[in-house]
Each structure stands twice: as C-alpha cells, then as structure tokens.
Amino acid sequence: MRRRSPVFLARRAYRLRRLRDAARLLPLAGAFLLLLPILWEPAGGAARETAWDGVYLFVIWGLLIGAAAWLARGLVAGEDSDDDIAADTAIEAMSDSPPDSPTDGPAGGLAGGGR
Amino acid sequence: MAHHAMLIEDEPHITEAIRFLLSRDGWQVSALRDGGEAEAAVRAARPDLLILDLMLPGRSGLEILSALRADAEFAALPVMMLTAKGQGRDREAAERAGANLFMAKPFSNAEFVAAARSLVPVTDPASGGGA
Amino acid sequence: MPFNLLVLACLSYAILLFAIAFAAERNMQAGAARWLRSPLVYTLSLSIYCTAWTFYGAVGYAARSGLEFATIYLGPTLVFVGWWWILRKLVRIGRRQRVTSIADMISSRYGKSNLLGVIVTVMCVVAATPYIALQLQSVTLSFGVFATAGTYGWALPDTNSTALWVAVGLALFTILFGTRNLDANEQHTGIVTAIAVEAVVKLVALLAVGIYVVWVLADGPVDIFERINASALADWELIPSRWTGLIALSAAAVLCLPRMFQVLVVECSDERNLATASWAFPLYLAAMSIFVVPIAVVGLQMLPAGANPDLFVLTLPLSQGQGGLAMLAFLGGFSSATSMVIVASIALSTMVSNHIVMPLWLSLRPTREVTGDVRRLVLHARRFSIAGVLGLGYLYYSLSGGSAALAAIGLISFVGVAQMLPAMLGAIFWRGATRVGASAGLCIGFAVWAYTLFLPSFGPGGVYSLSMFMEGPFGIGWLRPQALFGVAGMDPLIHALFWSLSLNTVAFAIGSLVSFPTPVERVQGLAFVNVFDTERTEPLAWETGQVETEELLKLAQRILGDEQALTFFEHAAAEQGTGGYLPDPTPEFLDALERKLAGAVGAAAAHAMIAELAGRARVTVADLMRVADETAQIMEYSGRLEAQRAEMERTARQLREANEKLTQLSIQKDAFLSQISHELRTPMTSIRAFSEILMEGDVPPEVASGQARIIHEEAIRLTRLLDDLLDLSVLENGTVQLDLRLASLNELIDRALRSAAQVRPERVFTIWRDLPSEALFLRTDPDRLSQVFINLVSNSRKYCDAARPELRINVKQRGARVIVDFIDNGSGIPKDKQQIIFEKFARLSDQTRAGGAGLGLAICREIMANLGGTIAYLPAQGGAAFRVTLPLRLEKHPFADAA
C-alpha cells in the first residue's frame, strides 16, 4: 500500500485555496486602483496631467493582465490536480481492500490425503 | 363348524400373532393387508367376526366400517377395532362408526381372545365337532 | 482610390471570410483541427465586444472626453480578471443546462418560464437595434470618407442605399453560416473562426494606424507625451459619477450583451479556455486602446477643425496620402462591424425563434401531435429573425438619420442590456430569486430605460416634444425623462443608468421576497446556484409509463433530424442495456432528451413538448428535500414518525408470527408424541403377543423359534426408532460431533448405492452417473454424508413407481460448493407435498410405508444443516429429485460460532 506524504498534499491543497482567494480578490483590487483617479484633484486648479493619467491607467491595466495570467496558470493546474488527488485516493482505497484470500489449492492436489 | 374371523391388518407380525391366537382358540382366520380391498373381501367371505386396524394402507378402518354399517346386511356384523394410538379420540370415533369393541395395542393375549369370544357366541369347538 | 476598388476589396474580404468559415467547418467535421477550439480562437472571438464603435468611436470619444473612453474597456477587464466569481459559473451552468442564449438561461432558471424568455428576447432585440444601426452607420460613414476625400473625384451614390447593401450582405452571410446547424449548442465553428480572423484584422489595422501615428507622424512616445499634455485633451475633466458608472455599466454589458453571451457561454467548447481568456482578453482590449489617445491628439492637431473625430482612424492616413494604410483601417472597421452584426443576429435570432416563434407554433398548431418538419420551421424562423433584426437596425439607422455620435448610441444599448444583470446575478447566486421578482425587475428596468434614455435618444421633436423634456409629461415636473423625481443636473446617461438599475433591483428583490417559487423553479435554482456542488443534479421525475418511446423518437426526429435522433436513441438504448432504437422512457432518459431538445429549441419549448407527450414532470419529495432545508427537516421528522410506525408494525408482526409458531409448535408436539406413541406401540404389540405365547410354553420348538425371531426383529426395529429419535434430537440441537475428514465423493456415492441395494433388492435400477464430475475430494463428515445419500437412494428404490426405474446422479461444482442431484424417473412428489416431506413422520401415505418411521428426510435435513449445506426437493425434473448442496471444504462446525 502506498501513502504519499500527507504534508505535501495538504500544503498543495492549501496553496490552491489561497490561489483561488487571490483570484477572487484581484478584481476588487483592480476596481479600487481604477477608481483611484476619482480622488485626484489637480493641485491648485492646474491642468490635469492627462498623459500621466494615461500612463497610470495602462500600468494598472498591465499589472492586472499579468496577475490574471499568473493566477490562471495556477488555477488551471490546480483544477487538473484536483482530479489527480481524487484519482490517487481512489487508487489507495482500492489497494486498501485486502486481496482475495488464496484458495486452499487445487482439489486434485489433495487427492493423496483423502484416503 | 368353526367361526370365521377376518383380520384386516398391515403389520405382518401382528397378523401372525393374532392368527396364532385365534386359530389356537378354534377360529378359522383369514387376513388381509390392504384397506382398499377389505370391503369386497368382507362381502364375499361374510365372516362371523371382523377385526379392523384403524390405520390401514389404501383405506382407513373407520371408512371400511362406516361403509359396511350402512348396508343392512352387515349392520349386525360384530366388529373389533385395533389401534396403536390408544387415544380417547380414536375410541370415540370407532364407536360412532359402529365398532362393537375397541382394543388398544399392545394387548394381552387372554384379553384379546376373550373379547373375540364375547362378540361371537362360541360353542366349544371340540364339542361342536362331535355334534 | 476608386470606389469600385473599395467595393472589390470589401467583396474579396467577405469571400475570404466565407472561405475561412467553410474550411473551418469542413475541418471540424473531419475532426482534424483541434486548434479551432483553442483558447486563442476563443479569446479572439470574444473580441466582438470591440465593434466599429471601438474601432472608430473610441478615438472620437477620446477626442471629446479624454481618458473616459477607457472605462468601456476597464469594466470588461475587471469582469475577466475576476472570472473566478461570475464567468466560470456562467460557463459551467451554460454547458450543464445546454443553454442557447441569455434569454434561455434566465427562462430556464426561473422555472423554464417562457414569459421571461419573451421579456428578455424583446428587451435584447430593442436594445440591440440601435447598436446594429450603429454598425451600419459606421460602415456607411467609412465609405463616405473615401467618397468625400475628393482627391479621387468620385462621390458616394447614396448613404442610405450603401447601408441597405451592407445590411443585406451581412444578413446573407449570417444566414448562410449561422443557421446551418439547428442545435445551437453545436456551436458555429465556421462563424467563430471567421470572427477570430476578423479580430486579428481589426487589431492589426488599429495597431498599424497607431504605430504610423506615433512613429511616423510624431517623433515617438516622448513627442506624443508632450503633444497630449499640450492638446485640448489635457483639459479633460474626470467626472467621478461617469467614471464609476461607466466602468460598472461596461462590466454589466459584457455579461449581458446577447452576442457576448453567445461567444462567452454558448460557443465555449472548453471551460479551460476561460482561464486563458481571463488575461488574454484584457490584453486585447488594452492593445485596442493604447493608441486611441495618440490618434485622437494627432488627429485633432493635424486635421482641420470640424473634422469628425469618429473617423480619425481613416482620415489621418488618408490625409497623408497613405491609401494602403487607410485601406487596412477601412477593412479593420468593416471587420469590427460585420463580426458584431453576425454574432448579434445569430444570438437574437436564436432567442426569437426559441422564445417567440416556437411557443406560438406550439400553441397554435391544431393537433397535439408534433407533425411536419420542425427543423425546417425552426431554421426558417431563425433565418427570418436574422433578416428581421438587420431590418430593424436599418430602420433605426434611417429614422435616426445617423446623426448622433457613435459613442452615445452604444451606451444607450449598454444601459438597455444591463437591465438583465439583476435577474442574471440573482439566477446564479440567490436561490430565493423567483420568476415574479425577475419579471418585475426586468419590466420596470426596461420601462425606465426606454422612458429616460431610449426614447429621448431620438432628440427633441423625435418621440418626445421639447416641452416633454423641459416640463415633463402633462406638466408633471417630477416625471421629466431626464430628471426623474426631481433629480436634475445629473448626466442623462448616468441618470438613466442609476434609476433604471435601482428600480429594477428593488423590484426584483421585493418581488422575489414576497412571492413563492414553483417546484421547478426551486429545483432549477438549486441546480444553478450550486452548480459546482452538485456534480450531477437529479433529473426531474417525469411520469413514466404514459409515454411511448416511439412518439418521443418521432418528436426528436422532427427537431434534431432523422440521423441524429436515431443515434441519440440508439446510444440511450445501449446505455440502458437494451438493444435497438427504443430505450425505456425512464426519467433519466426523458431528462437527457429534454436537454438535447433544449439545445435546439430552448429549455421552455423542450420542456413543454416533452410534457405534452409524457405528462407533467413530477417534482418528487426527494427533489424538494434537496431544494429546501426546511422542507428536508419536515420530511425527516415525518420520516422518523413513519419509521417508528413501521418499526411498531414490524414488532407486532413478529409477535404474531412468534405466537403462531408457538401454537404450531404445540400442535406439532402433540402430533409428534402421538406419532411416537404409534411407532412404539406397533412393534410392542408383536413383542407382547409372542412373548406371552412363548411364556405359556406349549408351542412346538420350531414355531417357538420363529416367534422368538419376530420378537427379536421387532426389538431391533424399536431400537432403530429410538436411535433415530436420539439422532434427530442431537442434530437439531447442534451438539452433534462431526468427524471431519477428506473423502472422495465418488466413493461416498458408491457406498450409498451399495448400502441402499438391500432395500427392495428385487428392483433393478438403472443408475446414471458421470464419474469424472464425481472426482472431487470433500472435507466433510463422510459417514453423515453417506447417511444422507443412502437415505435418498433408498427412498428412490422404495418409492420410484416407474416400470423401468432409473436413477440419475449429477454432480456439479460451483465455486466452493458442491451440488449433488438425485433424480429418478418416477411420478415424483406432488407439489403440495414437496414442502412437508422434510418434516418428521411425514410419510406421504401409509401405502408407501415400508418399514421406516418417516424420520429419514428430517434427519437428512438436519445432517445437511450440520454439514453447512442444504437439501431440497427439485421440482420439474421428470421424477422425484433431491438436490444436496454442501461446501467443498467444511472447516469447522457451522454452529460453532452461534454456540
């Protein structure tokens, strides 16, 4: 019977959970960052630095894309390994059950002892 | 002339015992094993005494007796019933069917012969022979 | 550039798309091209979000309102990077329920209600009409640019006829490729591939213009940077309400737009594609946006004042004499418009045919039976719907005169479809959402939208008079279309968005809270909200038995086509383990068929069709238990009561049985004693009679010895009877000592036949045996087993009444058990006696009485129980037949554990 290190499995499952948390948090963080420009008041009524606003927007945009790409890779791998873990448990469950007890041997082999 | 006793009994050893006892007492004994043939045999032989076992192969003793009693010709035929069960129920049934006497197995030889004699007035066989 | 060349370019581009779509479908059918369903194609197909509005309008938007244009792409970006929240669930539900459109999804969730399907369909068609008009307008405008360029000396014949030609061309293309398959779930591979190519064309075109502007017209990014800060755009003012509102609006629209739902959910072939799209689609949007501001700024500086900023993408290259680049830009815009119109009209036509035409046909047809070719009907309905949708778009274009700015039209449409958001989110996150709430929310939201945004879009003097705008209907000030409840001074778009969505949500919530869902709604609600928990939801329990599978097959053939229907039925039959083409109409099968049909005609129509044939779907107790916890608890409680009642009934029954058994036992005991009495008295009679005779002493010696022999025999008989009774008693108590040894079955049978030959030795039996099969070694008590065999053979010798008696002995090994059958050719045992022959003293008739006391089979039964086996009478073997079954290896006393 084979047993994997449970520490490893638990750790992987734990990582996966946190990855999903991160995936859920990402749009909230993005919304916050994208709504931040609302708070910016051009100092002293000076003209808005539109170019810099644009750079800010595209930098945030790029960060979101990068983070989503990184998370997506982990999440897809995680979904696959979910199946792996399930398959492993199934195999272990199978090997847990005792093998069929061997029979006493062929009937003919005991013929001599009969009489 | 010797009285004729007819015995319907399926146990061969019992038949042999009764035949011995009655023959020694001067009876002419005929025996039959099968209940199914009994009635016809009785009608043909017209015995002076019928000894019927209660449990018989083919037809039970009670049935044979009822059939005979229904016929006026055999209404007065003396009948002795034998049974190995010996319960009161059987005795009542036998009396209702018209048995004159009921005897439980095992019986004493003397009793049995006396009962047979009581049913048929017997003249002494030896003296009868001389008449 | 000659106009003819332009038309030729358009035509050859259309033919190219045609060829691509055709080749893709061919490849897909051959199963060759996996990449057609790759994440890349999926992501590119999503780009139909970027229509001509993006391609041309974004620059114009930027020129007018600065960076605000980006909000339209930031909303979808947030939705996609947050795919784990909503999109993943939507796609899973769409695939699980075989959803054909957003209307189908909402209708299916709220109890397969067709009313909701109709409401959503009407809303989508109305909201999409201006959007389609916008595409026609942009294509027409772009034609116009070339015409008015003047340099080439030609004029556009007539803008209206151009728009008409474009509309007709698009309708033809869509009909040709969008309505080839009936099953909307069978995804339009050809169309999707063509859309993906168009996505590349428009991205490349926009990037090319952008690069040309930044690095050729300007001196690179730094120069552009300075130009931006120097331009009018620098004075751009960020209006917080619009910024927030538009991000939210575009996020809602990307979820609710029928065409987005089509590519996002219906055409999704693999959920994993969504993970790639979660970052790749925002990347595409960013790439489409990055050069918008530079193009706008440079355009504003270089082109004469009064030039339409919506067409800078075209006019900038054209003004520099870059005919080729302008051509590319034109094709990019053309791509944007065509791809949007194609997908939108497919999505809308599916909705119209499934939720309006099919239900009408179902209720209007004269007979209950589904007759005629429904496939053809549905396909025609879709084709006419496509033409109708494009016709409406053209009509709107002609009526509105194409004057409004592109961006404004697009946003009106967005607010319209955003009305579906509460019902949709409620559908997938709130089990308490009901049909009543969804209908109320949708209707109110739609009405407010139409009143405050859609109708005013025709301008003063269009639908509303100027006084209507200024003073409200009938002079009621607080009902002014753009200042509801006296909230004046708000941006009209945000005003409409705020009021429509707020009232919509409130109506949805209140309606859901006060109404009670139907059972089907509750089941569907569970299936939607808990789509990830319930791997496979139980099907609704259709009433089975009322429906002929043949009728279902007829129905399916009419809708799916002969071949597909037969394949589906054959597959289902094989899965049920029956051959042929007609599976049993089990609830599972009906559910699968409903889903299959739903892929073609929508959930509501499929449900109605099957309900007509199969009777109403019953929502079982089990369904309700899954749906509602409170119900489950009630059911559990009454279930416990039920269990207690059953338990008491069981106990009472057991008591009754025990009582009967005791009575029976008492009777049996009396009978047994009576039997024993009889069996003892019979030999006693002979013994007593002869012993008395012998005691008298006057018997001749030879007679006396005969009588003594009789006494002896009867004494032996008595002993045997007592032995049997003791044996039986020991066997019944399980206190028997077994002598377990290995023994040859063959020898045991030999021994039994030898011993039993003494019984009625005058009878000659033919014995049939199969010696090889008897070559078995058993671990058992050989003496006990042969006792059984002897008894059986003896019985046969005694009772077999055939003229030429035969006895067959068959031996079979079944795993660890051995079966030995003893079959003779007599008249056997009558059926009513077969049960009692194993009882004590159960001789069948006195005629067959041959010395035994009637304990033989009773003892056999007890012996076999002690040997871990059984003995039974085998009926219908052409004679008396007994089957002895015993273990090959008896390891210990079978009663040892119990003792």
Tens digit of pLDDT for each residue in C660-701? 878 877 777 777 777 788 888 888 898 999 998 888 888 888
Domain annotation covers residue A111 = no
Highest mean predicted confidence (pLDDT) among A17-21, B18-22, C159-163, C739-743: B18-22
**Residue C549, min C-alpha distance to chain A (Å):** 37
Structure confidence by residue, pLDDT tens digits, C607-656: 777 776 666 555 444 444 444 444 444 455 566 666 777 778 878 888 88
Q: What is the pLDDT of residue C617?
A: 52
Tell whether the model's pLDDT for residue C572 goes beyond 90.
no
- Residue A46, chain C, CB below 8 Å: the answer is no
Q: How confident is the model at residue A115 (pLDDT cuts 50, 70, 90)?
A: very low
- Alpha carbons C539 and C553: distance in angstroms, whole number: 20
**Residue C435, min C-alpha distance to chain A (Å):** 29
- Alpha carbons C562 and A5: distance in angstroms, whole number: 55
- Inter-CA distances, C712 with B76, C200, C705, C716, C759, Å: 40, 117, 10, 6, 20
Query: Which whole number is the average pLDDT over A62-75?
Result: 88
Query: Which whole number is the average pLDDT over C162-173?
Result: 81
Domain annotation covers residue A90 = yes
Q: What is the pLDDT of residue C622?
A: 47
Helix, strand, coil percentages (3-state) for chain C, rounded to 5, are 70, 5, 25
**Contact residues on chain C for A107, CB-CB shorter than 8 A:** 776-777, 888
Domain annotation covers residue A25 = yes
- Alpha carbons C246 and C261: distance in angstroms, whole number: 20
Average pLDDT value for chain C: 80
Highest mean predicted confidence (pLDDT) among C270-274, C668-672, C789-793: C789-793
Q: What is the SS3 assignment for C56-80?
A: HHHHHHHHHHHHHHHHHHHHHHHHH
Q: Do C225 and A51 touch (CB under 8 A)?
A: yes
- Alpha carbons C367 and C612: distance in angstroms, whole number: 11
Residue with tokens 């190219």: C16
Structure confidence by residue, pLDDT tens digits, C709-726: 889 988 888 888 888 888
Q: What is the pLDDT of residue C573?
A: 77
Query: Which whole number is the average pLDDT over B102-130?
Result: 74
Q: What is the pLDDT of residue C850?
A: 42
Domain annotation covers residue A107 = no
Nearest to C275 among A24, A72, A115 (CB): A72
Tell whether the model's pLDDT for residue C283 goes beyond 90.
yes
Indicate if the alpha-carbon torsion angle C639, C641, C644, C649 is positive or negative: negative
B49-63, C238-252, C274-288, C391-405: which has the minimum mean pLDDT?
C391-405
Helix, strand, coil percentages (3-state) for chain A, rounded to 5, are 80, 0, 20
- Report helix, strand or coil for C291: coil
Nearest by Cα to C262 from C196, C335, C201, C351: C351
pLDDT more than 70, % of chain C: 82
B28-42, B77-91, C750-764, C785-799: which has the minimum mean pLDDT?
B77-91
The H or E element containing residue C778 is strand C777-780
Q: What is the pLDDT of residue C161?
A: 72
pLDDT more than 90, % of chain C: 11
Tell whether the model's pLDDT for residue A95 goes beyond 50.
no
- Alpha carbons C507 and C547: distance in angstroms, whole number: 41
Termini Cα distance of chain B: 10
Q: What is the pLDDT of residue C353?
A: 84
Q: How confident is the model at residue A99 (pLDDT cuts 50, 70, 90)?
A: very low
Are C107 and C351 spatial neighbours (Cβ–Cβ below 8 Å)?
no
Domain annotation covers residue A104 = no
**Beta strands C617-618 and C541-542: pairing type?**
antiparallel
Within 10 angstroms of residue B37's Cβ, the number of other Cβ atoms is: 13
**Contact residues on chain A for C272, CB-CB shorter than 8 A:** 76, 79
Domains and CATH numbers, chain C: 3-367+375-402 (1.10.4160), 420-516 (no CATH), 536-630 (no CATH), 635-733 (1.10.287.130), 741-887 (3.30.565.10)
**Contact residues on chain A for C743, CB-CB shorter than 8 A:** 114-115
- Alpha carbons C388 and C101: distance in angstroms, whole number: 18
- Inter-CA distances, C616 with C525, C543, C548, C558, C668, Å: 19, 7, 15, 21, 57
Residue with tokens 């969008």: C178
Q: How many helices and strands in chain B, by DSSP H and E?
A: 6, 5
Q: Half-sphere exposure of residue C658, counting CA atoms within 13 Å on the CB side?
A: 6
Q: What is the pLDDT of residue C174?
A: 81
Q: What is the pLDDT of residue C421?
A: 93
- Alpha carbons C110 and C120: distance in angstroms, whole number: 12
- Alpha carbons C157 and C161: distance in angstroms, whole number: 8
Are C838 and C865 spatial neighbours (Cβ–Cβ below 8 Å)?
no
Task: Tell me which chains share at least 3 CB pairs under 8 Å with chain C.
Answer: A, B
Q: What is the pLDDT of residue C187?
A: 63
- Residue A9, chain C, CB below 8 Å: the answer is no
Domain annotation covers residue A115 = no
Query: Would you give the DSSP letter of residue C624?
Result: H
Query: Which whole number is the average pLDDT over C313-336?
Result: 86
Average pLDDT value for chain B: 82
The H or E element containing residue C769 is strand C766-769
Indicate if the alpha-carbon torsion angle B5, B8, B13, B14 is positive or negative: negative
Domain annotation covers residue A81 = yes
- Residue C743, chain A, CB below 8 Å: the answer is yes
**Contact residues on chain A for C218, CB-CB shorter than 8 A:** none
- Alpha carbons C500 and C446: distance in angstroms, whole number: 7
Tell whether the model's pLDDT for residue C248 goes beyond 90.
yes
Torsion from C-alpha of C345, C349, C350, C351, nearest 10 degrees: 110
Q: Do C84 and A75 touch (CB under 8 A)?
A: yes
Please spell the DSSP secondary structure of C446-502, one letter per residue.
HHHHIIIIIGGGG-TTTSS-HHHHHH-GGG-GGG-TTSGGG--SS-HHHHHHHHHHH
Q: CB pairs under 8 A, 24+ apart, for C10-17?
A: C10/C334, C13/C331, C13/C334, C13/C335, C14/C169, C14/C173, C14/C338, C17/C173, C17/C194, C17/C197, C17/C198, C17/C338
Nearest by Cα to B45 from B25, B57, B58, B30: B30
- Alpha carbons C630 and C618: distance in angstroms, whole number: 20
Question: Residue C677's closest chain B neighbor by CA?
Answer: B85
Chains A and C touch (3+ CB pairs under 8 A): yes
Residue C249 phi, psi (nearest 5): -65, -45
Domain span at A79 = 4-39+48-97
Q: Do A38 and C276 touch (CB under 8 A)?
A: no
Are C286 and C73 spatial neighbours (Cβ–Cβ below 8 Å)?
yes
Q: What is the pLDDT of residue A6?
A: 52
Query: Would you give the DSSP letter of residue C889?
Result: B
The contacts of residue C411 (CB under 8 Å, 6+ apart) are C246, C249, C493
Q: How confident is the model at residue A103 (pLDDT cuts 50, 70, 90)?
A: very low
Q: What is the pLDDT of residue C150?
A: 47
Tell whether the model's pLDDT for residue A4 goes beyond 80.
no
Q: What is the pLDDT of residue C374?
A: 72
Q: What is the pLDDT of residue C616?
A: 54
Query: Which whole number is the average pLDDT over C844-864?
Result: 67
Residue with tokens 């409200």: C472
Q: What is the pLDDT of residue C680?
A: 84
Q: Do B16 and C681 touch (CB under 8 A)?
A: no
Q: How confident is the model at residue C287 (pLDDT cuts 50, 70, 90)?
A: very high
B79-83 sheet: strands from edge to edge: B28-32, B4-8, B49-53, B79-83, B101-104
Residue B76 one-letter amino acid: A
Q: What is the pLDDT of residue C721?
A: 83
Residue with tokens 């779930």: C185
Tell whether the model's pLDDT for residue C441 goes beyond 90.
yes
Domain annotation covers residue A110 = no
Record the tokens describing residue C82, joined without a space: 């947050």
Q: What is the pLDDT of residue C491?
A: 79
Record the tokens describing residue C211, joined without a space: 């690069």
Structure confidence by residue, pLDDT tens digits, B20-79: 999 988 889 999 888 888 888 888 888 999 998 888 777 888 888 888 888 888 888 899
Higher-confidence residue of C273 and C156: namely: C273
Residue C271 phi, psi (nearest 5): -60, -25
**Beta strands C617-618 and C806-814: pairing type?**
unpaired
Tell whether the model's pLDDT for residue C605 goes beyond 70.
yes
Tell whether the model's pLDDT for residue C825 goes beyond 90.
no
Q: Do B84 and C682 touch (CB under 8 A)?
A: yes
Q: Do C693 and B17 touch (CB under 8 A)?
A: yes
- Number of domains into which chain A is organized: 1
- Inter-CA distances, A66 with A26, A58, C47, Å: 11, 12, 19
Q: How confident is the model at residue C200 (pLDDT cuts 50, 70, 90)?
A: very high
Query: Would you give the DSSP letter of residue A49?
Result: -
- Residue C247, chain A, CB below 8 Å: the answer is yes
Structure confidence by residue, pLDDT tens digits, C461-514: 666 666 666 666 666 666 777 767 766 667 788 888 998 999 999 999 999 999
Q: What is the pLDDT of residue C713?
A: 87
- Alpha carbons C786 and C288: distance in angstroms, whole number: 96
Q: What is the pLDDT of residue C848?
A: 42
- Alpha carbons C450 and A39: distance in angstroms, whole number: 33
Higher-confidence residue of A92 and C332: namely: C332
Please state the ipTM of this predicted complex.
0.88
Query: Which whole number is the average pLDDT over C419-440?
Result: 91
Indicate if the alpha-carbon torsion angle C722, C723, C728, C730 is positive or negative: positive
**Residue C707, min C-alpha distance to chain B (Å):** 9
Higher-confidence residue of C73 and C5: namely: C73
Query: Which whole number is the average pLDDT over A97-108?
Result: 39
- Alpha carbons C856 and C834: distance in angstroms, whole number: 15
Q: What is the pLDDT of residue C655?
A: 84
Question: Residue C672's closest chain B neighbor by CA?
Answer: B85
Higher-confidence residue of C823 and C563: namely: C823
The H or E element containing residue C817 is strand C817-824
- Alpha carbons C69 and C55: distance in angstroms, whole number: 12
